[in-house]
């Protein structure tokens, strides 16, 4: 392939990544404003940050590669973003479930290992580890 062809392919890839990133960021910010419940609203910024910002960072990586100035910073930012966004979303979700601040919280799971809001059955002893301590 000629250098002009490689440059054209990189330019098209950068453009596609920028458009995809902009669309996901726009949809995510619109969802953050328009969704009514905290649990519904939670998905908009997490999807926008992982997909939208990830695509924008990919465009930055491709642009640096096209200028022959490769940088590891964008890849590290993307890795940090992809690791922290789902974890923070899970913690925000758990806080909403424990506060019962969402309109329709899901029923607690019967699995006591992974349940967020595990409740004791009628014949069981009270689940003391789940009740808040009073000081």
CA distances from 105 to 18, 61, 88, 129 (A): 36, 40, 19, 21
Reported as a pLDDT band with limits 50, 70 and 90, residue 18 is very high
CA distances from 111 to 65, 99, 119, 123 (A): 49, 20, 10, 16
Instruction: Provide CB contacts within 8 A for 32, sequence distance 6+.
Output: 41, 44, 45, 48
pLDDT, average across residues 73-93: 85
pLDDT digits (tens, 9 = 90+) for 100-126: 766 665 666 666 665 555 555 545 554
Residue 118 pLDDT: 56
Query: Where are the chain's structural domains?
Result: 3-102
Helix 3-34 and helix 38-47: axis angle, to 10°? 170
In a 3-state reduction of DSSP, which class is residue 122? coil
pLDDT, average across residues 26-51: 80
């Amino acid at each position: 392939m000629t250098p002009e062809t490689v440059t054209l392919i990189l330019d098209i890839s950068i453009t596609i990544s920028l458009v995809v990133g902009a669309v996901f960021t726009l949809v995510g910010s619109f969802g953050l404003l328009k969704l009514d419940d905290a649990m519904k609203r939670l998905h908009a910024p997490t999807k926008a940050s992982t997909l939208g910002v990830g695509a924008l960072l990919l465009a930055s990586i491709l642009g640096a590669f096209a200028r022959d100035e490769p940088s590891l910073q964008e890849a590290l930012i993307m890795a940090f973003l992809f690791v922290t966004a789902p974890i923070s979303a899970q913690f925000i979700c758990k806080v909403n479930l424990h506060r019962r601040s969402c309109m329709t919280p899901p029923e607690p799971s019967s699995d006591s290992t992974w349940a967020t809001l595990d409740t004791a059955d009628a014949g069981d002893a009270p689940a003391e580890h789940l009740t808040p301590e009073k000081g």
